[in-house]
Structure formats: C-alpha cells, structure tokens
Chain A
Amino acid sequence: MDAVGLQPDDTGVELDVRKRLGDFRLATSLAIPARGVTALFGASGSGKTSLLRLIAGLDRPDAGTIRIGGDILTDTARGHFVPPHRRGLGVVFQEARLFPHYRVRGNLTYGMRAAGRRCFDDIVALLGLDNLLARFPATLSGGEARRVAIGRALLTEPRLLLLDEPLTGLDEARKREMLRYIGRLVREVDIPVAYVSHEPGEIAAVADRLVLIENGGVLAQGPLDELLARFDLTPHLGGFDAVSVLAATVERHETDYALTDLALADGQRLTVPAVDEPAGTTLRLRVPVRDVALALSDPAATSYRNRLHATIERIGEIGTGSAVELRLRVGGQALRARLTRKSLAEMDLREGMPVVALIRTVAFDMRL
C-alpha cells in the first residue's frame, strides 16, 4: 500500500468560511480527513469549485478560517493569508492547465521537490505516462492531459490533492480509464483527496466520504455509505438513490467462468463478473436498488448467485405508489432494496426481521 512513499501529515482540512460572489452566498463549514477520498458533491453552481479555490488560496473568503493539519492557511480575523504557492496543496483543475511550452516531462517536474524526484518513476508508471514524456501538451488527448496534470500535482508532494471534476469532457471509455487510475492512486499513494464532482457514478466509484453541498452550504457530510443509506437525503442525492455501495475484497478468480469471488467484511461471499485486480484488493461495488430481491429463507436452487444474509433495518415511507424502499444491514454495511408494496404485505416484512438479499451476479457495476 505504500509503494510510493509520500508522507502526508495526520490532520486534514478544517474550513469555516463565508463569501459573497455576486448574488451567491457561500457559507460553509466542512472537514476533509487526512486519509481517503472525500467527495464534494453538488449540482453545478452549488459552490463546489468556489470552495476549492478558497482552499487552494486562489480566492480569499470575506470571513472565516481554513486550516490544514495544525497550520492556518486563511484566518480573516487575524489577517492571515498563506499565498497559494506556499500552501503545499496539489490542485488538478477541470481543464488540465498544462503549460503549453513545456514538454510533459517539464510539466511534471515544474513543481517537483526532493521526495518527488525519488518517486518520479513510480508516479509516471502509476499514471501510465511513460510514453508521453517527450510530447508537448497540445498533442495529448483529454485523458492523457488530465493524467499529466494529476502527476504534476502529486510530484509537488502535496498535503492534500484537490481534484476539480477531473473527468469532465471525457468520453465514457476514458472516464472509466481515469477512474481506474484515480482508484489505483488512492490505494497506492497515501494522500488525502478532495474530489469535486456532480456525477454520482464517479463518486460512488472513488469516494469514502461525502460532503453534500447545496446553495453554497453543507447539507450533510459523513461516510458515503451512511449518507447514501439515509432516506431523508434521497431527494438531494440526485442519481445516487438508485445504488448502494458495498466494499468487498478480492478473494480469488474463477477464470473458467470469468468470475471473481469477493468477501465482505463479515465473511459473506459475493461473485461478480471477472475483475482485473489481484487478490486482496478492496473494491467498491455499486448495487442498483432494483436488482436486489428479498427472500425469507435461503432458496435451494436459484440463478441468483449472491445470497446475502441481512437484517431489515428500516422500511421507507409506504405511500400509495407501487414501490417501497428498504434499507438492509449486511455485516456493517447498508444495502438498499426496492420492492412492490404488495410483496412487502404478502411477505409480512417488518423492521428487524432477518432476510436473504438476492443479487444477480451480472447486476454489479464496478470499476475499481
């Protein structure tokens, strides 16, 4: 896990700021822990990018403080402001912003420090930049440019990596490829990441924590799985509500059938379409709500390869429509299911009941 030896410090970012931008008011208080990926999620214009610019020191807040670790970056009350070039943060902008007059190598080494020099080759390999080093940015594709920008920021040994919608404008295949690179990066380089995005798919694939931003304020923040499982946030979580995220570890590959066996934290097994990752890798599986069926006991023969023992934790509001949402607890993780009101009544399901969740193997959508 520490193939690339960058050493971040232990406390993350604590931010409490207010800023007026025309008619828009930003009033935000949030924390980004020193480990893992924290997603800043919100619609376009919710203030995500403004926040990122404040953290990077490219803008000053009207009032408030921003700290990283023990260091104060911005403190308006005391007139304290650390300029961007002394903040030690790595920023990857929406547009890669590579320097057109430097080759890729020159871009990568522009802000490189001593420790960055030691891991130059590792980062180049990690991001697949070996063949690009002698090229000029104008000749790179969108995905390549984005990867160079990430490498360039990493080589400055930042205390925090800020990614601003790093997949914008890429086609689907490139997006998946970039997500793989970013996933590898957060697994192999121990660096906290703040990931700004309005795409639930991206966030489910890479983030551990979620900060939900709406109209310049923070609506909720916490572990991703917990927030996704909260019914009260469903209306604010746009495209998220249709999936649950399960973390599982690769156990072995059934190459004959092109399947991979995974283990959940509580020891239960899952089988998914073959994944190109070595045993021991932790994956995040996105399970669409509509692909989870429930049974009261373990069915003897069924084409559902995945049968997870679970407990009904919460039954969502029963309206007059045909569907009801349920939240199950599988080991320590939350899994959401949607069934018809009629099934709920016929099976006489209640909160606290043990059930078996059936998930079709082909239902898994997973890129990491």
Chain B
Amino acid sequence: MLSDAEWQAILISLRVAGTAVGWILVPGVLLAWLMARKEFRGKALLEGLLHLPLVLPPVVVGYLLLISLGRQGWLGQWLDRWLGISLPFTWQGAAVAGGVMAFPLLVRAVRLSLEAVDPGLEAAAATLGASRRRVWLTITLPLALPGLLTGTVLAFARALSEFGATITFAANIPGETRTLPLALYTMLQTPGGEAAAARLCAVSVAIAMLAILVSEALARRARRRLQGRDA
C-alpha cells in the first residue's frame, strides 16, 4: 500500500518527534514549574523568549538554529570540536528543530496544570512530614498529570508537523531528514506524485488523530482518578 520511501518518511517522523519530546520533557516541566511557582528577575523576559518560536516564522527559527548550531555557529563549533557532534542535515538536527518549535506548547500546557494544583495541598503534605521532593513526586506531579499528558501530545504533534525550521536547519534528505511533511511537500513538487501525497496526507491525519485519542483517554482516566472516582 505504502512505498518504502513513504514508510521511511513515517518512521523518520516518529523517531524525530519522539526524540524531540524526549529531549524537551524534563527541561520543559522544570521551566513550567519555575514559571508557575516562582517569582524572579527577568521572568517577563524569559516568558517572551519562551514564546518566540510560537510567533516567529518557522523558517526564521530554522535560520537562527543554523547560525548558532551550524558548523560555523558559535555553539555548533564547540559541539563539533569537543563532542564530535554535528547537527545540521541530520535527523537529530530535525529533532532539535521540532523540539524548539514544540517547547513553548509543552511549557504552556504543563504550566497551566501546575498553576491549577492547590498550593494548600502541598503545604498540607509538608506538615505531614513530606520533603519537597516527596511533595513534588506524590502531590504536585500526579495532580498536574492530565496537563502533562496533554502538553506532551501537543508537543509531539507539533514536532511531527514541523516543516519550515526543519527544512531550513536539517534540509530535506531522503532517509535522513525527510519527515512526513517534507515527503508530502516533495511529492507535490514531483509530477504524478498526487496519489503518494494523498496517502501521506491520510497517514498524517491518522497519526495525529491517534495521538489525540490516546492522550484524551489517558487524561480522562487521570482526571477521573483525581476527582475521586475509580478509573
């Protein structure tokens, strides 16, 4: 039904989006907690920076990644020299692009759900002898779980659909960085590629729907437990 190249694009997409989410999950949750619970200097500035990928054209983000993480970029040079890592034009580079674009969505969803956790419950847990770590693991995190799930799926979907930053930073290399959207774009540029494009389009819709359904089911289950009904 699907050609090898199409399967390849699907697998690359899943790998790129999964890796992107895996990379941003922990820093995203930490940053969300910082924004939800702490007051510090430069918070407004950080908030602005955080939202930049949402409002900038993705191509601009890709370009910025290229000049910072590219072989001649200040960070890229360092990565290349000391760790032997080169990101541009690799699938890891595509994951970086997807991760950067998905980061604000993840932080936003997690932050909202953390803000909804009653600090009174955390205080109560502390008076019961729970250390801050235990409070975080047993109270804060479980209560914020629905938002965390939603945020993760949103981020995954965003990374999966990333086009502009990916093509700018990681290019469109078959078998390496040609993700679903890039493959779809390529098909549209190819005479007679309409059928393949339609198939890839259907696959995209199916993956997105599946992700949303699974996350909704998980979030509903978590919410039901939180509201005190048996899941």
Contacts and interface: CB of A to CB of B under 8 A. Distances in A.
B227 interface: yes
A143 interface: no
B116 to A, nearest CB: 12
Nearest to A84: B126
A93 interface: yes
A85 B126 contact: yes
A138 interface: yes
Interface stretch (B33-41, B117-125, B158-166): B117-125
B212 interface: no
B228 A111 contact: no
Nearest to A110: B128
A152 interface: yes
Interface in B88-108: none
A97 B143 contact: no
A239 interface: no
Contact of A110 (B130, B142, B143, B226): B130
B196 interface: no
Q: Is the interface of A mostly helix, strand, loop or mixed?
A: loop
- A: interface residue count bin: 20 to 34
Contact of B129 (A97, A100, A111): A111
B125 A100 contact: no
B129 A139 contact: no
Name the prevailing secondary structure of the B interface residues.
helix
A91 B124 contact: yes
Contacts of B226: 100-101
A85 B131 CA distance: 6
A137 interface: yes
Interface in B107-157: 118, 120-121, 123-132, 135, 138-139, 142-143
B127 A90 contact: yes
A58 B123 contact: yes
Contact of A91 (B127, B139, B142, B229): B127
B146 to A, nearest CB: 11
Given A95-B120, A99-B139, A101-B143, A136 B229 contact: yes
A330 interface: no
Interface string A108-131: 001101000000000000000000
Interface of B: 118, 120-121, 123-132, 135, 138-139, 142-143, 225-230
9 contacts: A85-B126, A89-B127, A91-B127, A93-B120, A97-B124, A110-B125, A111-B130, A136-B229, A138-B229
What are the nearest 6 A-B pairs in CB distance?
Answer: A136-B228, A138-B228, A111-B128, A97-B124, A91-B127, A84-B126
